[in-house]
Structure 1
Amino acid sequence: MSLSGTGNFCQPICEDSSSHRHPWYPPEIATTDPIARGQLLLRNTLTGKKEPFVPMQARHVRWYTCGPTVYDSSHVGHARTYLSFDIMRRVMTDYFHYNVLYQINTTDIDDKIILRARQNELIRLLELDHSVDFDKLVVLAKEALGEAKAKSDLKKEEIATAIEEATQNKDSRAKTEQEGLMEQHLVKRKNLDGDEAKIMELCGSSSSSSKDARAKLLVAAKSVIAEKLDREKGHLITDHSVFNAHARQYEREFMEDMTALGIREPDVLTRVTEYVPQIIAFVETIIEKGLAYKSNGSVYLSLDSFQAAGHNYRKLNPAGPGGAATSAAEMAEGEGALGGGGTSEKRNPSDFALWKASKPGEPAWESPFGPGRPGWHIECSVVAGDILGERIDIHSGGEDLKFPHHDNELAQSEACFGCNQWVNYFTHTGHLHIQGLKMSKSLKNFITIRQALEHNTARQLRIMFLLQAWDQPMNYSDQTIDDARSKEAAFKSFFREVEALVRDDYLAQEVGWRMADHDHKLADAYLAARQSVHESLLDNFNTKDAMSALLKVINEANTYLRLPQVRPSVLLLRAIATYVTQILKIFGVIDGEDEFGFGSGGGDANATSSGGEQYIETLVSFRESIRNAALEAAKGGDSKAAIQAVLQICDALRDEVLPKVGVRLEDRPTGTMWNLEDPEVMAKELAEKAAKEKEAQISKLEKQLIAREKECEKIKNSMVKPEDMFRTNEFKEWDESGVPTTLANGDPVSGGQMKKKKKAIDKQSKAFKDLMEKSCNNPQELLSAAHKEVDGIKEKLSSLSL
């Protein structure tokens, strides 16, 4: 029978007659799917879709990522961006084995830094100015608050007008943009209203003479006072050291945050202020090419000249067919928080600044264009061009940087270098949302990285981001964190279980062992997981599906381990645990000498001396013997109290004693499994467990309290004799059953009302009768007992609240 051309085989390759070899049939790869062919796909913002990744130089990748503007503490939205790129970088280097040169730049001079540094300095000077006592500070705070509210009202009117105009012009793009701005503005106004309530309360403080009252008011009103002082006195802050010190503080904090998150340091870290001479030369080159112009000490890129020279603008955030003009909001964002010189000094309103003439209260460097400072966008072009060259493989940043920052970067770089494509692949992380809005400092809805790490570990945050698509928006919530914690626990539990199996003489058990159907099923699941992880990572670094594949094979292994009377293949389980650990190390979930993964600590056979293992085994055996004896005695009904006490001692050994020395016990149908853990980690777990149990107990008692109080109220109401229900001042006469017939003013009670009252009396008669029967005609005693029970529950709640 001929095999030629059948199945997955090609035509045979025949050797010449001198080789004496038989034909070989090479496997046929009949697919054009890039992932099936092992091609890495990367979502490229320049095209809006996933593209095959092809570096300019084989296996070498030049990668630039926009760093922070260091004007304030970094929040979890920044963590989302830098953790996501850290994971992608790790996968690219440690899994796909590309040679990556990774650069990050720190923006240490910028409108936001200037503004914040100036405001903080003015507040510092105010704190030291004791001539401004509490009463004067009250006046200042109220004035600043009034100005802030007026500014807010004006902004709201402007946005509302813009929405109305966009609606009339049927400009859906502008309308959507302005509606988004209105939503953000309303959040800011809500924050301002909240500040107002605090400020006005402190302004009316009776302890106005104390230093403490002054300090509290200054803290509460800091934001509005700082804005007022900056408008009035910001131009007086001219010392470069003020801006430099501010930037250095938050630059250092950012780097410490990145270390705390386990993010690898970049290969190259640059600062804008150290590149001012190169920035000036870069701008001069663009001017010489006729693509930029000077105006009132500033320099602007001429978009008309740029596009006339054959270049394209707004590649990342296209303005639509025909190239719609840049909106006013976009232009304002492009000029920065302090704005530019205005459209009057621009040839085209959409032109953007390469160099800004410094106004009073702004740092300045000498240049051929006059004293000034770099524009917002120019810095990245210059530092990346200097380190990575005139062409870059990958440029990364957050979603909010697409336009204007990155589009303007592309324009000025292509103008200077004379190319049509400065960056081959642009990658942008999706927004991180909290309470439905993008996490933002201006909206005051942000959680700093340090705050997040007070309640969650760096590993949990990393897992949370691994479970999301890096290029899509995501929500930061208790649910996403809890999901990450549960996945972390699943990995850890599996690793420890396999380590317990490995501790035994597993090789002796494997001798003579052969695979049954359930073993084949697990082996197939293992291979499928490896394939799924590989294909997921090729598909735009899809860690979400990769993590699902790892968790799925762990679930399969756990099911396999729970099969009754099955002799497990420890070698296969160890292979799965080793592979999962390897991928988690690549993702950065396990780092260095971390004891989280399989074979790296915990229950590793080499983690303790043989004497220590023997001690643990003896202790476990002792406890298990007592436990089993107690369970057997319980079956026969002997000495129940003593048996219960023995069981409690055993549980206390497991839950309280051994965790303090880092020993974890787990009771299984096949026996007790032990593992070594970090005592601090176990103590934290026990504390969290105790806190949850306490919370559950409090919740249960609160429900009981509500029920008991309702019962008291019911007893109290049922104690009223039916005939006395309506014998009140509202009425003057009643019939023999207590139904009111005449109102207090002498008017007769209507028939309908008499009918309702009769119905109520009949209902009360039943309740009164039931109460008398239940209390043996002593309802007061029943009520007292119920009140006593309520007091007991309140006492328990009070003790738990301490």
Structure 2
Amino acid sequence: MAAITVHNSLRPGAQVPFVPKEEGKVSWYACGPTTYDLSHLGHARNYVSTDIIRRVLMHHFGFKVNFVMNYTDVDDKIIIKARRHRLLELEKQKTYTAEQVQGFVFKAFGAYAKSNLPLLDDDNLDENNYQERKEAAYGRVLAGGTISGEGRPSDPEAKVKMHLNNMDSAVQSLRKSAGFDGAEEVLLPYLDSLYKETIDTSDQSMFTDLTQAMEKAFSDDMAALNVLPPDAVTRVTEYVPQIVEFVDQIVRKGFAYEANGSVYFDIAAFEMAGNTYARLRPDSKNDNALQEEGEGSLSKGLEGKKRSGDFALWKKSKPGEPYWPSPWGAGRPGWHIECSVMASDKLGDQMDIHSGGIDLAFPHHDNELAQSEAYFHQRDKGEHTWVNYFLHMGHLSIAGSKMSKSLKNFQTIQDALATTYTARNMRIVFLMGRWNDGVEISPDMRKQADSWETTLDNFFTNVKAKLAEAGSPAAGIQNLSLTEASGNELLDELEQAKTSLDAALRNSFDTPTAMQVLLRLVRDANIYMHANTGPSDLRAVEAVARWVTKIVGILGLDASAAPPYSGLGWAAATTSSAVDPATAVVPFATVYANVKSEVEALQLTDPSLTALLASQDPASEFSALEAAGERNAEALTLPHIRATSRLRDELRALVVASGATLPPATKQALLSLSDRIRDYDLADLGVQLDDQAGRSSLVKFVPAARLVAAREEKAALTEAKARAKEEARRAKERAEEEKWAKAKVPPQDMFRADAKYAEWDEDGVPTRLADGVEVAKGQSKKLRKEWEKQKKLHEEWKGKFGGEASAV
């Protein structure tokens, strides 16, 4: 069997074989979120893609995966956000006049421009001239260009737009004299610059209140996206003593040094001992901008670094920052050290996989590697390997910029699921791209994902309907032998699909190819199902449906499914199929009882209909299923659905067979009842009936919302057609009225009321214009043609209405 190969950031270029350190087991650490704000689609891209690989390793390749993820609950972003919001709360409690508040907001407005929008840094800037100056300074960026005028817009341009949006809100607040409302984004950094050192950080509730709320929100988002929970979760604040000990060990080994209460990693000493720094991104090793970003915005002012590239393992806490005790004084962990300590605690001195977004490769992951390998370094034993495989997920971008909280160019997961996506649809979009490639979701990509989902959804619906029609709605015919179908062309295609899909997943988890394998097989099965209807043919189609069900379960496309994914089809994207029997059957039993009562009230004497009414007992069929332990909603409700459908089929057959013997009113009542049962009674419960010539209607379970939407669309289309027909009729009437109104005028009078002319001949055709000039010969011919046309029309009018025209 072919090996699994992966894209490993530690070995750029060709894919490398994936060989865990312990056979059959995989140890995996994933960088979790920094819990300071709601998660967005960029996070969904990272964690859903990670989840897909994890599921494939576990449920396709059979590995036992130990998956550890952290929550960063102390960080510069968390400190700044929590502190600023506390300061704003305190400021709102102060007693200010409206004029004082307005002045305070205006100062914050100017300070924000000076700090973030240098082209607007002007002492004369105010809410009245802001719009004009904004257009002059940043009009090119607002129009989609770049700050420099060259290249394509990216993060710097996105950041400018974010700052301008904040300024726009502040301007509206100033113009409305709205106080602090609407101006928060410019007020928060201004308050921080004035009062940050006055905050009492011995009470860390301001930070924990924020992080715990955001951790809960993230966890809820992941559950909504059907992302498997981690096997273990770690938090920085729960590891501070271990972090201090870890840092101290690195210092004792000579790979770090203390300076003014902070501890920095000594890159030069690390490399002199035979180790490699920046193994993931060697070309970024001297990128000062990335290094500074990795240190965090609160690290400015920390002193004592030997070299600019050295990074903080422990930071001296300044006033307004949380702190913990350490041998070097009150401080807090550096950003990178947390993952080294927590991952090593859970997975030891070496792990199989470490993952995160591609933007973490440098400096975060490179610094993690360096400090961890320094901690485990042993002289004369060479360079230590802390991580065997680094998997970096491609990021999601918008208009060329990375989707980012800091740029505020994001859609939250909560909002996306409420307005744009289902969890399944979002996952399909991500499956359409390689996990390690960047992606910008386009309308075409969304269209392809929608089409893929619809194709599989319809396939599952049709297969389940065919099996129900064959009499085995719940278990299908999965236990029947397929030997008599050996050599079946569809089963041959199924075996080839299994081989192709396995090869795709072994090829660094190539889900785009895997998705195409599934789509081709389903399309082939649809063609086969349409052309072949025998029992062995149905067995072959079911075999395909069950294998496809297993794969979509492995890929996480059915939130209600669980290993070994042996069911048939996926559950509706927003519902669960496991229900309380008594609850499930009520609406379906009600529909049947109502329909039966209405049919009986018609007092029809057809023997077939009378026998059917007497013989059907769906309540007993349901009771037998319930007693047998059935909990699948579709199976439990099928007895009443079938009974209702049979009555409808019998009514339709009666109308066809009766010819002219039924009274027109009765016939119309039967047809109306038949349509209502299909289009309303059952459709509102998520049941679609497909009429089949000479056979019982085919029962399909389809989300009710989809059937209702289709019904409303059909009604709207019918109404639009009727409206268009009526408008066309009225337009025709108006044209007819206008035609005969014009026809009433004798040709001798048609030009005499026109002030453009002064003289006419004996027929009333103009000969001279109002200014005395004779009518040109060409114009005269044209007027004569119009006169002849009017004469003919007038004669037609007289012939039709027998009227006489009055002189004009």
Q: Please give the TM-score of this superposition, normalised by the length of structure 1.
A: 0.74
Contact persistence 2:395–2:438 (CA under 8 A):
yes
Contact persistence 1:663–1:674 (CA under 8 A):
no
Q: Which residue of structure 2 lines up, in the alignment, with residue 328 of structure 1?
A: 288
Q: Which residue of structure 1 lines up, in the alignment, with residue 682 of structure 2?
A: 658
Q: Which residue of structure 2 lines up, in the alignment, with residue 314 of structure 1?
A: 278
RMSD: 4.7
Q: Which residue of structure 2 lines up, in the alignment, with residue 148 of structure 1?
A: 112
Q: Aligned partners of 2:666 and 2:257: how far apart in 1?
A: 93
Find out whether 1:682 has 2:703 as its counterpart: yes
Q: Aligned partners of 2:148 and 2:366: how far apart in 1?
A: 18
Q: Which residue of structure 2 lines up, in the alignment, with residue 574 of structure 1?
A: 542
**1:722 deviation in Å?**
10
Contact persistence 1:105–1:271 (CA under 8 A):
yes
Q: Which residue of structure 2 lines up, in the alignment, with residue 77 of structure 1?
A: 42
Q: Output one character per residue of 1:519-563: Cα deviation in whole Å (capped at 9) or x when no partner.
A: 722111111111111111111112222222122211111111111
Q: Aligned partners of 1:298 and 1:691: how far apart in 2?
A: 67
Q: Aligned partners of 2:376 and 2:352: how far apart in 1?
A: 15
Q: Which residue of structure 1 lines up, in the alignment, with residue 605 of structure 2?
A: none
Find out whether 1:385 has 2:344 as its counterpart: yes
Q: Which residue of structure 1 lines up, in the alignment, with residue 428 of structure 2?
A: 463
Q: Which residue of structure 2 lines up, in the alignment, with residue 66 of structure 1?
A: 31
Contact persistence 2:494–2:521 (CA under 8 A):
yes
Q: Aligned partners of 1:412 and 1:261: how far apart in 2?
A: 34
Q: Output one character per residue of 1:626-647: Cα deviation in whole Å (capped at 9) or x when no partner.
A: 345656889x999999877755
Q: Aligned partners of 1:536 and 1:548: how far apart in 2?
A: 10
Structure 1 residues 92 and 248: alpha-carbon distance in aligned structure 2, compared to 1, 3 A threshold: same
Q: Which residue of structure 2 lines up, in the alignment, with residue 299 of structure 1?
A: 263
Aligned AA for 2:242? Q
**1:401 deviation in Å?**
0.6
Query: Which of 61, 74, 87 pairs up with 2:52?
Result: 87
Q: Secondary structure at the match of 2:70?
A: strand
Find out whether 1:536 has 2:504 as its counterpart: yes
Aligned AA for 1:665? L
Q: Which residue of structure 1 lines up, in the alignment, with residue 191 of structure 2?
A: 229
Q: Output one character per residue of 1:113-135: Cα deviation in whole Å (capped at 9) or x when no partner.
A: 01111111122223333x23443
1:25-104 to structure 2, matched below 5 A, reads 37-48=1-12, 49-104=14-69
Q: Which residue of structure 2 lines up, in the alignment, with residue 451 of structure 1?
A: 415
Q: Which residue of structure 2 lines up, in the alignment, with residue 429 of structure 1?
A: 393
1:610-649 to structure 2, matched below 5 A, reads 613-628=638-653, 647=671, 649=673
Q: Secondary structure at the match of 1:396?
A: strand
Q: Which residue of structure 2 lines up, in the alignment, with residue 484 of structure 1?
A: 449
**1:255 deviation in Å?**
1.4
Q: Aligned partners of 1:706 and 1:272: how far apart in 2?
A: 70
Contact persistence 1:665–1:675 (CA under 8 A):
yes
**1:484 deviation in Å?**
3.4
Aligned AA for 1:598? L
Q: Aligned partners of 2:511 and 2:427: how far apart in 1?
A: 11
The 10-residue stretch of structure 1 (183-192 or 600-609) with the greater mean CA deviation from structure 2? 600-609
Contact persistence 1:723–1:739 (CA under 8 A):
no
Q: Secondary structure at the match of 2:68?
A: strand
Contact persistence 2:250–2:374 (CA under 8 A):
yes
Q: Which residue of structure 2 lines up, in the alignment, with residue 557 of structure 1?
A: 525
Q: Which residue of structure 2 lines up, in the alignment, with residue 183 of structure 1?
A: 154
Q: Aligned partners of 1:416 and 1:290: how far apart in 2?
A: 10
**1:483 deviation in Å?**
3.8
Q: Aligned partners of 2:51 and 2:214: how far apart in 1?
A: 20
Structure 1 residues 176 and 559: alpha-carbon distance in aligned structure 2, compared to 1, 3 A threshold: farther
Q: Secondary structure at the match of 1:359?
A: coil
Aligned AA for 1:666? D
Aligned AA for 2:548? V
Q: Aligned partners of 1:192 and 1:766: how far apart in 2?
A: 68
Q: Aligned partners of 2:62 and 2:416: how far apart in 1?
A: 32
Contact persistence 1:496–1:598 (CA under 8 A):
no
Q: Which residue of structure 2 lines up, in the alignment, with residue 192 of structure 1?
A: 163
**1:510 deviation in Å?**
8.6
Q: Aligned partners of 1:648 and 1:224: how far apart in 2?
A: 64
Find out whether 1:545 has 2:476 as its counterpart: no
Contact persistence 1:126–1:132 (CA under 8 A):
no
Contact persistence 2:686–2:707 (CA under 8 A):
no
**1:439 deviation in Å?**
1.3
Aligned AA for 1:533? L
**1:300 deviation in Å?**
1.1
Q: Aligned partners of 2:719 and 2:297: how far apart in 1?
A: 49
Q: Secondary structure at the match of 1:44?
A: coil
Q: Output one character per residue of 1:646-683: Cα deviation in whole Å (capped at 9) or x when no partner.
A: 55543332221113344332335674554474xxx733
Aligned AA for 1:187? A
Q: Which residue of structure 1 lines up, in the alignment, with residue 207 of structure 2?
A: 243
Q: Output one character per residue of 1:547-585: Cα deviation in whole Å (capped at 9) or x when no partner.
A: 221222111111111117766522222211111111222
Q: Secondary structure at the match of 1:474?
A: coil
Structure 1 residues 339 and 570: alpha-carbon distance in aligned structure 2, compared to 1, 3 A threshold: same
**1:328 deviation in Å?**
2.8
Aligned AA for 2:194? E
The 10-residue stretch of structure 1 (473-482 or 593-602) with the greater mean CA deviation from structure 2? 593-602
1:330-345 to structure 2, matched below 5 A, reads 330-341=290-301, 345=304
Aligned AA for 2:405? K
Structure 1 residues 659 and 126: alpha-carbon distance in aligned structure 2, compared to 1, 3 A threshold: farther
Q: Structure 1 vs Structure 2: percent identity of aligned residues?
A: 36
Q: Which residue of structure 1 lines up, in the alignment, with residue 616 of structure 2?
A: none
Q: Aligned partners of 1:490 and 1:738: how far apart in 2?
A: 74
Contact persistence 2:485–2:536 (CA under 8 A):
no
1:753-772 to structure 2, matched below 5 A, reads none
**1:191 deviation in Å?**
3.5
Contact persistence 2:482–2:536 (CA under 8 A):
no
**1:610 deviation in Å?**
9.0
**1:619 deviation in Å?**
2.2
Contact persistence 1:537–1:546 (CA under 8 A):
yes
Contact persistence 1:69–1:106 (CA under 8 A):
yes
**Unpaired segments of 5 or more residues in structure 2?**
122-145, 378-382, 572-576, 579-621, 743-749, 757-765, 798-808
Q: Aligned partners of 1:124 and 1:705: how far apart in 2?
A: 63
Q: Secondary structure at the match of 2:548?
A: helix
Q: Output one character per residue of 1:573-624: Cα deviation in whole Å (capped at 9) or x when no partner.
A: 2211111111222222224468995178779995479996444333222322
Structure 1 residues 725 and 200: alpha-carbon distance in aligned structure 2, compared to 1, 3 A threshold: farther
**1:270 deviation in Å?**
0.5
**1:275 deviation in Å?**
1.0
Q: Which residue of structure 2 lines up, in the alignment, with residue 363 of structure 1?
A: 322
Q: Aligned partners of 1:94 and 1:653: how far apart in 2?
A: 43
Structure 1 residues 621 and 703: alpha-carbon distance in aligned structure 2, compared to 1, 3 A threshold: closer
Q: Aligned partners of 2:721 and 2:91: how far apart in 1?
A: 52
Q: Secondary structure at the match of 1:69?
A: coil
Q: Secondary structure at the match of 1:666?
A: strand
Q: Which residue of structure 2 lines up, in the alignment, with residue 598 of structure 1?
A: 568
Q: Which residue of structure 2 lines up, in the alignment, with residue 784 of structure 1?
A: none
Q: Output one character per residue of 1:756-779: Cα deviation in whole Å (capped at 9) or x when no partner.
A: xx99x989x989x99x979x99xx
Contact persistence 1:492–1:597 (CA under 8 A):
no
